[in-house]
Amino acid sequence: MEHAHHVEHPDMYDEESSKIGMWLFIFTELLLFGGLFIVYSIYRYLNPEAFHLAGEELNRTIGTINTVILLISSMTIAMSTTALRKGHKKVAIALVVVSFVIGFAFLVNKYFEWGVKFSHGIWPGSEQMLAEMSQGEILFFGLYFVMTGLHALHIIIGMIIMLFTIRGLAIGKVTIKRPSMLDNCGLYWHLVDLIWIFLFPLFYLIH
């Protein structure tokens, strides 16, 4: 544009491209967790009794609270995309901030939940687990820590994306004309929710 030799690349922005790009990425995430769900279902099939017993150790109330929390945050971030389209920029920012805070609350809950397990001597490879538990129970807790841990990691990633989105909204990079970043941030957060919708019954409910 400016100089003869200075070549700018064309702006390739396209809302639908961004959307399907995000969906394709979500597919990879689904199959990433899918691998773990395969492992879980095989081991549950092989060790039904042990999984039953080990599942009773988990705290249903905390699990339910976290489910409710995550569902609410899903709603707030979905509302944020509507707010942006209606032109209410401040509302949109506020709703993402709310989702961020709720996500943080989820992590705090998780921290206490894991903390209780650790204080009972239950963590991957702990001596107490190896000494007292059956093989099936070791597998259950191994999967519990891996799957909820990986999920928590996704919560953290989702929150980092939210920070970038808030910044984008504030400085005007994300607008009605270019809403993809907010939309994709929302989609990612819903994915995190979607995985939790399956993790919750598999670990906390099925005894």
Can you tell me which of 53, 94, 146, 152 binds another protein, judged by CB under 8 A? 146
Quick check: 32 binds another protein (CB under 8 A)?
A: yes
CA-wise closest residue to 104 among 29, 189, 165, 204? 189
Residue type (1 letter), 124: P
Whether 51 contacts 44, CB under 8 Å: yes
> Residue 177 Cβ, how far from another protein at the closest point, in Å?
8
> According to CB under 8 A, which residues from 75 to 114 bind another protein?
75, 78-79, 81-82, 85-86
Quick check: 163 binds another protein (CB under 8 A)?
A: no
CA-wise closest residue to 204 among 151, 130, 129, 133? 151
Rg (CA), the chain: 21
Coil, helix or strand at residue 198: helix
> According to CB under 8 A, which residues from 125 to 144 bind another protein?
125, 130, 134-136, 138-139, 142-143
Whether 151 contacts 195, CB under 8 Å: yes
Burial class (CB in 10 A: 0-12, 13-18, 19+), 65: middle
* Identity of the residue, 41 or 128, whose beta carbon is nearer to another protein in the bound complex: 41
> Residue 173 Cβ, how far from another protein at the closest point, in Å?
15
User: How many residues form the binding site for another protein (CB under 8 A)?
Assistant: 81
Contact characters 2-31, another protein, x per CB under 8 A: -xxxxxxxx-x-xxxx-xxx-xxx-xxxxx
> Residue 130 Cβ, how far from another protein at the closest point, in Å?
8
> According to CB under 8 A, which residues from 178 to 207 bind another protein?
183, 186-187, 190, 193-194, 197-198, 200-202, 205-207
Q: How far is Cα 138 from Cα 126, in angstroms, rounded to an integer? A: 10
